Structure 1
Amino acid sequence: MSDAESETGDEPVAIEVPSDPLAGHPATAYFWGHVAGSGEVSDGAVRNEVRTADGARRSRAHIEVVTNDEESARVLAAVVGGDLEHDTISRDYAHDTSITRTEDEYTLSVDGDESGLLGRSGALGLPVDGRGNYRFGAFSEYDRELLRGLLEGCGTICFKSSSGTVGISFVHDDRELLELVQELIDGCPVGAPYDDLSETSSGGYWFGVDDDAAPAFGTWLYENCEATGLFAPSRRRKLEKSLEQAEAYDE
């Protein structure tokens, strides 16, 4: 068990984690979903190693994952350790680069040591292949947590005032990752049709879940998440508020 701050900050939430960060488990599925959605794994090959003052070799391999939800960042740190940094940034909106937004950003960095990165000798020992593509076979029984991590890492939830519907979409520079997300959605127990991949104005790709299916898909995605603590409270609140707005619009 590891502890992460609760949503109110009053009491820590116990996060159940396996000893192996690659084992099939809800916590590791959620973590690697976040890494794929808004993170990066750097290789720890010998050429990247450095020597410390005492002559020991230290690997430069590291994992870095970014989120704008503080509690989610603490949960990710509880899963694998590492160091958290907080910053406030302004960035272009993915679908329209003429719009900027300012938000908190929490960066979790996990560095390798003499035993490697998370006990592995290099990035190839992690669920990432030689081309940087993610392999999620170990987490096949925990698709909900994996998809939740991916949504919180590279997805958006909004209320569409023009149609009175809830919008759920995924945005990323890696087309193959989004195709993998679509495969995961195909396998979920809630029917959730989605659009074809389209290019964004910033050069990446995106797709949206059909508006009619978004409420059921989003509700399934966050169902019973309090039991594990593996979720971003701000993202769940955004979903709940969007659902309420959609219901009020129908009335």
Structure 2
Amino acid sequence: MSETERQVEVPVDPLAGHPASAYLWGHVAGSGNVSDTGIEVVTNDDESARVLAAVAGGAVAHETTSRDYAHDTSITRTEDEYTLSVGGDKNGSDSALLGRSGALGLPVDGRGHYRFGAFSSHDRELLRGVLEGCGTICFKSSSGTVGISFVHEDRELLELVQELIDDCPVDAPYGDLGETSSGDYWFGVDDEAAPAFGTWLYENCEETGLFAPSRRRKLEASLEQADAYDD
């Protein structure tokens, strides 16, 4: 068992209300896919992938991919991808998918929309998972500010993310939903609120191990750049 797995408290049921379950399903919603026979989650962080595997089981595969940047399809970036696959039994047996028969009992309805009620007491971990799944953190050199945004093909999921942000203890206004050049939807947290919101998201995350180290480093570096810009 790796050091990452040893520091993560794994729930008995990955569908019950628990910080690790909330983090898992945030990732699934942000960058995953649920079918009758399996779950796949994609992340760019090796340690985060191993944490998700510790929570849900399954196997992690690594590959290097090139894809268009969500906000500007003229820009292509190459990055590592770690894909967690859970289940995959073609017969859809109970043992194939978290002990459930197909997708029944998962926090996803028949139209593919997510239900996060079971994780309402763990909104920070849930939002952190979503951000790491379909969000971006950057330093805006033109304004010297930190940018945090969410991009996804599912408009209703982003509307649900906005509701979660409304309920979080940090005041984090955000812009209206817009469309990217690739046809997805996106919105950004206001620049003035992004530092406080990002800091809250990753506050005390080492206590649970439920975070992607590379994403936290990106946030810290962006905050440092913004501070230096102000100085």
Q: TM-score per shorter chain, which class?
A: over 0.9
The question of whether the paired residues in 1 share the 8 Å contact of 2:30 and 2:131 is answered with yes
* Alignment partner of 1:172 is 2:157: no
Q: 2:136 aligns with which of 138, 150, 156?
A: 156
* Alignment partner of 1:27 is 2:3: no
**TM-score by structure 2 length?**
0.96
Q: Distance in 1 between matches of 2:54 and 2:13?
A: 13
Q: Distance in 2 between matches of 1:192 and 1:5?
A: 34
Q: 2:41 aligns with which of 65, 69, 73?
A: 65
Q: Distance in 1 between matches of 2:226 and 2:13?
A: 42
The question of whether the paired residues in 1 share the 8 Å contact of 2:94 and 2:102 is answered with no
Q: What are the residue-to-residue correspondences of 1:42-121 with 2, within 5 Å?
A: 42-43=35-36, 61-111=37-87, 114-116=93-95, 117-121=97-101
Closer, same or farther in 2 for the Cα pair 1:63/1:93, shift >3 Å? same
Q: Distance in 1 between matches of 2:6 and 2:81?
A: 21
**TM-score by structure 1 length?**
0.88
Gaps of 5+ in 1: 7-11, 44-60
Percentage of identical aligned residues: 83
Q: Deviations over 1:80-132 (max 9, x none)?
A: 11011000000000000000000000000001553241011121310000000
The question of whether the paired residues in 2 share the 8 Å contact of 1:37 and 1:150 is answered with yes
Deviates more, 1:125-134 or 1:110-119: 110-119
Count of matched residue positions in the alignment of Structure 1 and Structure 2:
227
Residue 54 of structure 1: aligned partner? none
SS at structure 1 position matched to 2:94:
coil
SS at structure 2 position matched to 1:105:
strand
Residue 217 of structure 2: aligned partner? 237
SS at structure 1 position matched to 2:104:
helix
Q: Deviations over 1:149-189 (max 9, x none)?
A: 00000000000000000000000000000000000000000
Give the CA deviation at 1:5: 4.2
Closer, same or farther in 2 for the Cα pair 1:68/1:85, shift >3 Å? same
Matched AA of 2:16: A
Root-mean-square deviation (CA, aligned residues, Å) is 1.0
* Alignment partner of 1:213 is 2:193: yes
* Alignment partner of 1:123 is 2:117: no
Q: Distance in 2 between matches of 1:237 and 1:195?
A: 25
Q: Distance in 2 between matches of 1:80 and 1:172?
A: 23
Q: Deviations over 1:198-237 (max 9, x none)?
A: 0000000000000000000000000000000000000000
Gaps of 5+ in 2: none
Q: Distance in 1 between matches of 2:76 and 2:44?
A: 15
The question of whether the paired residues in 2 share the 8 Å contact of 1:88 and 1:103 is answered with yes
Residue 39 of structure 1: aligned partner? 32
